[in-house]
Structure 1
């Protein structure tokens, strides 16, 4: 009986630790080593002159509508920043090429369309602003 209780307690502790780790990674901004560029044609909308949030969503994603509202709000705070939502189920080719494994996933592009940051999961306002801050314009950081 004691062995079963210890096993259940260990399983609960392991599950709690895994959930805590997963939650801490939600929306975490990862700077990307200037990998690849996306054109307006590829994402299906006009990129922002300074930066673009490219959000990959799916119809069944419960966090995608809230993420879209948040990213539109942050994009609206700055001049020349756009938010583009891409349906990953429709653009599966692009999602595969960019290793989008879950939604929402947001890529941050600079003015040239170069991917400079990535957020997997639903970000907070501060995380979205931090991702936008990774965009540099001619060697200087864009201030928020």
Structure 2
């Protein structure tokens, strides 16, 4: 009986640690070094002159609508920033090329269409702003 209780407690502790690790990774901004650019033709819509949030979503994604509202709000705070939402299930070519393994995943493009940051999972407002700041640092010659 005592062994079962110890096993259950150990299992719950391991699950709690795994959940905490997973939550810390949600929306984290990562610097991306990538060659080439994503053109308006490839994206199917015009990019922002300063930056573009390219959000990959799927129809069954529960966090995607909230992420879209958040990113549109942050994009609206700054001049020259747009938000584009791409259905990953319809654009498998782009999803595979950019290693989109879950939704929402957001790529942040600079004004020339180069991917400068990536957010896997649902970001916070602060994380979205940090991603836009990465565009400014990249343009001014600083790296993250």
Q: Pick the TM interval, shorter chain.
A: over 0.9
List, as ranges, runs of 4+ consecutive aligned residues in structure 1 with deviation greater than 3 Å: none
Q: What is the RMSD of the two structures over their aligned residues, measured on CA atoms?
A: 1.3
Structure holding more strand per residue: 1
Report the alpha carbon displacement of residue 139 of structure 1 after superposing the two structures with TM.
1.7
Structure 1 residues 34 and 139, CA gap change in structure 2 (3 angstroms)? farther
Tell me the TM-score normalised to structure 2 length.
Answer: 0.94
The secondary structure found in structure 1 opposite 2:33 is strand
Gaps of 5+ in 2: none
Instruction: Give deviations 1:14-45, integer Å, cap 9, x for gaps.
Output: 00000000001100000112444111111111
- 5 Å-filtered alignment, 1:8-87, equals 8-87=8-87
What is the rounded CA distance, in whole Å, between the counterparts of 1:18 and 1:114 in structure 2? 33
5+ residue gaps in structure 1? Answer: none
TM-score (norm 1): 0.94
Q: How many positions carry a matched residue from both structures?
A: 141
Alignment partners' CA distance in 2, 1:66 and 1:42: 25
Normalized per residue, which structure has more helix? 2
